Amino acid sequence: MVTSLAQPHSAPTLMKVLADSTRIRAIALLALEELSVGELARCLGMAQSRVSNHLRVLREHDLLDERRVGTSTYLRSATVSAGASSALGRLWTALEPDMADLPEHEADRLRLGGVMAERQGDERAFFDRMAEDWDKVGARFERGTARERAAAHLLGPGKVFADLGCGTGYVARSLAGVSDRLICVDRSEGMLQEARQRLRDITPDRTSVEFRQGELDALPIADAELDGAVAAMVLHHLPELTPAVREMLRVLKPGGTLSIVELMPHHEAWMHQELGDRHLGLAPSTIQQALTRAGFIDVIVEPLEDRYCPQPGSDGPLDAEDRAAHPRGSVALPLYLVRGRAPQP
């Protein structure tokens, strides 16, 4: 959960707090990425105890947003969430272009790149480890209709579709037979290997299936290669929506459709660690606004009757015995669908 006092900021006080070079370097980094205290200390090249003293000052003046995951706390600059018309927003708009003039900023950015590369490697390794058992813990649904609803908006003969963040291919199977080509993309090679196994019975004369490893914010897909794409239960794993949504628009042909299935916000904090979820669901308005800002048109939010049931067990819809057998058997999280179209030239 992200917490912020979000109280009005006094411009003179803000300028006094940010006059310290270490604090403004920290804010500049946290405006770029959400970091743990340890990661921030590495980016700044300082001892964690010294950085913690500066963070205490930033907290006292409500300049940090915080998100707790288990025993870890992740920090983000409040400049990201502050309104553009607020004193903090106006001040940061004025200061940010000059960050490159700070002698230490370039080195800070280089160290940040190393930290993020290491984190991405850790996250990829997590999903590689989980791939074999993902359908048991992370691909369970109450009815199993959400993926069909997402796919239904893409149907049409002679089309090229993609399952973005395909995991083990549970959505991709719904697209087989309704497209000439199907591109499955995931950052985890382990997930792709499982998808290959689970989709191996799809014959080329039915649908030609391709598997490509890549990030959602740097899709291994050519410009305007797709007639449609599905991104199901994947956006809550991302630190930011904007880069990925822009990429999804780039790879769609004019008039192509993007169909997104996501979780409503919830409070199952255990999913951070056990399923690698970065966010506990996402508000429909957040995704709708991200698509609209990226350039999608006709963006619509629809409720789904299906629910997500993340827990150990066999594949397929849950029954009463499944629910009684596991401590989290009663978890059934609401889903919704967001769809939009790439504009015509």
Segment 126-132 mean pLDDT: 70
Confidence of residue 88 (pLDDT cuts 50, 70, 90): confident
* Three-state DSSP state, 159: coil
Asked if the model's pLDDT at residue 9 lies above 80, the reply is no
Residue 123 counted as domain residue: no
Q: Do 63 and 188 lie in a common domain?
A: no
Token digits of residue 128: 């590689």
State how many domains the chain has.
2
Residue 278 counted as domain residue: yes
Higher pLDDT, 181 or 137: 181
Helix axes 105-130, 189-198, angle to 10 degrees: 30
Q: Do 142 and 200 lie in a common domain?
A: yes
**What do you get for the CA distance between the two ends of the chain, in Å?**
41
Q: Do 99 and 147 lie in a common domain?
A: no
Choose one of 63, 86, 103: the last residue of a domain.
103
Q: Do 150 and 260 lie in a common domain?
A: yes
Residue 80 counted as domain residue: yes
Q: Do 41 and 164 lie in a common domain?
A: no
CATH number of the CATH domain containing 155:
3.40.50.150
Q: Do 33 and 154 lie in a common domain?
A: no
| Tally of CB atoms within 10 A around 45 | 12
Question: What is the pTM assigned to this prediction?
Answer: 0.57
Token digits of residue 113: 């790149």
* Maximum average pLDDT range among 6-15, 120-129, 131-140, 291-300: 291-300
Determine the pLDDT at residue 313.
38
Q: Do 47 and 158 lie in a common domain?
A: no
Token digits of residue 188: 């985890």
248, 232 contact by CB (below 8 A):
no
Q: Out of 74-83, 166-175, 237-246, 270-279, which region has the weakest mean confidence (pLDDT)?
A: 74-83
Determine the pLDDT at residue 195.
93
Tell which residue, 138, 210, 128, has the closest CA to residue 172. Answer: 210
265, 286 contact by CB (below 8 A):
no
Residue 118 counted as domain residue: no
Residue 109 counted as domain residue: no
CATH number of the CATH domain containing 76:
1.10.10.10
Q: Do 74 and 192 lie in a common domain?
A: no
Residue type for 4, please?
S
* 127 phi-psi bin (left φ>0, alpha ψ -120 to 50, beta other): alpha
* Maximum average pLDDT range among 5-9, 133-137, 232-236, 315-319: 232-236
Residue 114 counted as domain residue: no
Domain that holds residue 179: 132-341
Choose one of 103, 119, 153: the last residue of a domain.
103
Residue 149 counted as domain residue: yes
| Tally of CB atoms within 10 A around 111 | 17
Helices within the chain (DSSP H only): 11-17, 21-32, 37-44, 48-60, 78-81, 87-95, 105-130, 134-137, 146-152, 172-175, 189-198, 242-251, 270-275, 284-294, 320-325
Segment 295-303 mean pLDDT: 93
Q: Do 291 and 231 lie in a common domain?
A: yes
Q: Do 162 and 14 lie in a common domain?
A: no
Question: How far does CA 68 lie from the centroid of its chain?
Answer: 17
Q: Do 167 and 217 lie in a common domain?
A: yes
Percent of the chain with pLDDT over 70: 80
